[in-house]
């Protein structure tokens, strides 16, 4: 009998520590505030089962996590613009941890878990979405211009005052943010911080030019799902979507800036494919959004979407090449042509979209340059010049720049054009409003035969309405 008691006691001593060890621990909690939601991230030592629900009178969010121990302080989660006013926790008899968030206003909670990645271990993410309309949704929605290239002629605007012309809107998307730091460079330099600074500088430069207005998709350090980024740009009435990144590569020796447009048939290089996969994986952090054509029958919707995407992609390649050519004047290029890959953030059929890789943050030399303020300004200036050049040639109807063109006040200097399939000398002369003779002379063409990929110089001209 004494021996049996000893064995039982020994088993208890062994089993209890194992059970305690098996409990998942919360090692830290982080809070991120975005314009329309608050994100809580719990860092865990292992996978968990959880449940999130709301209580009223007073308003509370309850988070129940099974077989989990709190090993950190729940401090720093209140104040500022966060709706959380107080945080309490307690362990229940069922080995369940309960965390209660007292909130100042009603919110809509959404939660999900994430598996480990290169930066973090297991995580529980709780998003608290504001119920009131965000500042973005309160803004007037303008109709984006789908295809600035080769559109039918529009009535002249020169009889209207310049003050009545709308700005050309550029949506600037600083990649990553918040819980997603993006690529990490030497010394812990984070992509999300660098690209936000470049985006802010690009916004400043664009807004200093009459006829243009730049809108930041991400204004601070918080995460926005990939499809949501294009939704924000669309609600701001963007004529162009520019996503700014500073990515990493498996080899630290990789260097040079790149510009990407969407490819519907796969990546154009192994580098493009690797980068696209890396960016698309960040959407695991949550979110969704779609361009909808619910009011059209299936065949018509398919045709409209295909036409819109084709026109948008053509414009994307055009503006992308202009941006890339200007960037090549101040920093080495990884590729001299616009690459194409399946970036989720570029899949918008209603506006031209490009992704600019300002350099490889994984390269020690480029990382140092990217952190330099003057280099950030130079990068922003080169992107701005490319955008300006594109819209001076293809101003959206009703814009101030279109009014300048129709009034004969828009002088365009020499620029480059990369020949694409189906283009001819006469077609390009008509598009750029120069004569065939001028085009032949500027490029010393002995015949009108053009090759796909050939770079032509378009002579300077003053654009006027037709």
Q: Residue 256 is part of a domain; what is its CATH number?
A: 3.40.630.40
Q: How many structural domains compose the chain?
A: 3
Strand order in the sheet with 168-174: 212-216, 168-174, 240-245, 353-357, 258-262, 339-341
230 pLDDT exceeds 50?
yes
Q: For residue range 97-135, list pLDDT tens digits in order.
A: 999 999 999 999 999 999 987 788 999 999 999 985 544
In the prediction, which pLDDT does 292 show?
45
Mean of per-residue pLDDT scores for the chain: 81
How far apart are the C-alpha atoms of 437 and 162, rounded to whole Å? Answer: 34
- Specify which residues 98 forms β-bridges with: 64, 90
Provide the percentage of residues in the chain whose pLDDT is more than 70: 76
Q: For residue range 298-350, list pLDDT tens digits in order.
A: 555 445 445 556 667 889 999 999 999 999 999 999 988 999 988 878 877 67
Closest CA to 314 of 400, 250, 390: 390
243 within 8 A of 175, measured Cβ to Cβ: yes
391 pLDDT exceeds 80?
yes
269 pLDDT exceeds 70?
no
In the prediction, which pLDDT does 453 show?
82
87 within 8 A of 99, measured Cβ to Cβ: yes
In the prediction, which pLDDT does 23 show?
87
136 belongs to a structural domain: no
285 pLDDT exceeds 80?
no
144 pLDDT exceeds 50?
no
pLDDT tier at 409 (50, 70, 90 boundaries)? Answer: confident
126 belongs to a structural domain: yes
CATH code for the domain of 42? 2.60.40.3500
More confident residue, 387 or 301: 387
- Specify which residues 51 forms β-bridges with: 64
In the prediction, which pLDDT does 282 show?
57
Q: What is the DSSP letter of 237?
A: T
> Do residue 300 and residue 185 come from a single domain?
yes
342 belongs to a structural domain: yes
> Do residue 47 and residue 170 come from a single domain?
no
pTM above 0.75, yes or no: no
321 belongs to a structural domain: yes
More confident residue, 92 or 325: 325
More confident residue, 242 or 13: 242
How far apart are the C-alpha atoms of 46 and 24, rounded to whole Å? Answer: 6
> Do residue 45 and residue 113 come from a single domain?
yes
pLDDT tier at 94 (50, 70, 90 boundaries)? Answer: confident
407 belongs to a structural domain: no
54 within 8 A of 62, measured Cβ to Cβ: yes
The two tokens of residue 197 are: 């600074």
> Do residue 166 and residue 105 come from a single domain?
no
Contacts for 461-464 with beta carbons within 8 Å, 24 or more apart? 461/411, 461/412, 461/432, 461/433, 461/434, 462/408, 462/409, 462/410, 462/411, 462/412, 463/392, 463/393, 463/405, 463/410, 463/411, 463/412, 463/433, 464/405, 464/406, 464/407, 464/408, 464/410, 464/433
Domain C-terminal end among 364, 393, 422: 393
Domain C-terminal end among 393, 425, 446: 393
> Do residue 219 and residue 175 come from a single domain?
yes
> Do residue 206 and residue 331 come from a single domain?
yes
> Do residue 110 and residue 78 come from a single domain?
yes
Closest CA to 338 of 327, 330, 349, 348: 327
44 belongs to a structural domain: yes
In the prediction, which pLDDT does 38 show?
94
> Do residue 36 and residue 112 come from a single domain?
yes
Provide the 10 A C-beta neighbour count for residue 155. Answer: 11
53 belongs to a structural domain: yes
361 within 8 A of 184, measured Cβ to Cβ: yes
333 within 8 A of 324, measured Cβ to Cβ: yes
> Do residue 343 and residue 435 come from a single domain?
no
> Do residue 75 and residue 44 come from a single domain?
yes
More confident residue, 400 or 283: 400
Range of the domain at 418: 413-463
176 pLDDT exceeds 50?
yes
In the prediction, which pLDDT does 34 show?
92
How far apart are the C-alpha atoms of 76 and 31, rounded to whole Å? Answer: 8
How far apart are the C-alpha atoms of 174 and 185, rounded to whole Å? Answer: 17
141-169 average pLDDT score: 51
CATH code for the domain of 446? 3.10.350.10
> Do residue 210 and residue 308 come from a single domain?
yes
97 belongs to a structural domain: yes
Q: For residue range 192-225, list pLDDT tens digits in order.
A: 999 999 999 999 999 999 999 999 999 999 999 9
In the prediction, which pLDDT does 455 show?
84
271 pLDDT exceeds 70?
no
- Most confident residue range from 124-133, 234-243, 308-317, 435-444: 234-243
> Do residue 226 and residue 310 come from a single domain?
yes
């Amino acid at each position: 009998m004494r021996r049996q008691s000893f064995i039982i006691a020994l088993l208890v001593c062994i089993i209890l520590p194992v059970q305690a060890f098996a409990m998942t621990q919360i090692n830290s909690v982080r809070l991120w505030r975005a314009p329309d939601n608050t994100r809580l991230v719990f860092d865990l030592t292992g996978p968990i089962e959880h449940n999130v629900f709301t209580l009223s009178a007073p308003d509370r969010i309850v988070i129940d996590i099974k077989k989990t121990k709190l090993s950190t302080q729940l401090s720093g989660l209140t104040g500022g613009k966060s709706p959380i006013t107080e945080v309490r926790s307690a362990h229940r008899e069922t080995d369940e941890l309960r965390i209660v968030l007292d909130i100042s206003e009603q919110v809509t909670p959404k939660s999900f878990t994430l598996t480990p990645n290169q930066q973090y271990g297991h995580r529980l993410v709780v998003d608290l979405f504001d119920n009131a309309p965000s500042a973005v949704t309160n803004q007037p929605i303008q109709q984006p211009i789908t295809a600035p290239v080769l559109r039918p002629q529009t009535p002249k605007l020169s009889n209207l005052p310049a003050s009545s012309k709308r700005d050309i809107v550029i949506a600037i998307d600083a990649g990553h943010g918040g819980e997603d730091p993006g690529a990490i460079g030497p010394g812990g330099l984070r992509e999300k911080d660098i690209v936000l600074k470049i985006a802010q500088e690009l916004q400043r430069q664009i807004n200093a030019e009459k006829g243009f207005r730049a809108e930041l998709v991400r204004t601070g350090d918080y995460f926005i799902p990939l499809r949501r980024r294009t939704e924000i740009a669309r609600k701001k009435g963007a004529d162009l979507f520019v996503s700014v990144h500073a990515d990493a590569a498996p080899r630290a020796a990789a260097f040079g800036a790149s510009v990407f447009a969407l490819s519907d048939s796969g990546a154009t290089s192994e580098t493009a494919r690797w980068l696209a996969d890396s960016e698309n994986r960040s959407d695991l952090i949550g979110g969704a959004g779609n361009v909808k054509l619910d009011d059209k029958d299936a065949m018509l919707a398919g045709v409209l979407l295909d036409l819109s995407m084709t026109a948008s992609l053509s414009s994307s390649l055009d503006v992308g090449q202009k941006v890339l050519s200007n960037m090549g004047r101040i920093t080495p290029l990884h590729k001299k042509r616009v690459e194409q890959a399946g970036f989720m953030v570029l899949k918008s059929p209603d506006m031209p979209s490009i992704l600019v890789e300002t350099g490889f943050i994984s390269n020690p030399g480029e990382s140092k340059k990217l952190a330099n303020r003057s280099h950030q300004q130079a990068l922003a200036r080169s992107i701005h010049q490319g955008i300006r050049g594109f819209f001076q040639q293809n101003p959206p109807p009703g814009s101030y720049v279109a009014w300048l063109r129709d009034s004969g006040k828009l002088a365009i200097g020499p620029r480059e054009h990369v020949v694409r399939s189906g283009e001819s000398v006469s077609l390009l002369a008509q598009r750029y409003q120069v004569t065939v003779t001028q085009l032949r002379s500027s490029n010393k063409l002995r015949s009108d035969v053009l090759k796909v990929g050939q770079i032509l110089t378009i002579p300077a001209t003053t654009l006027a309405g037709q």
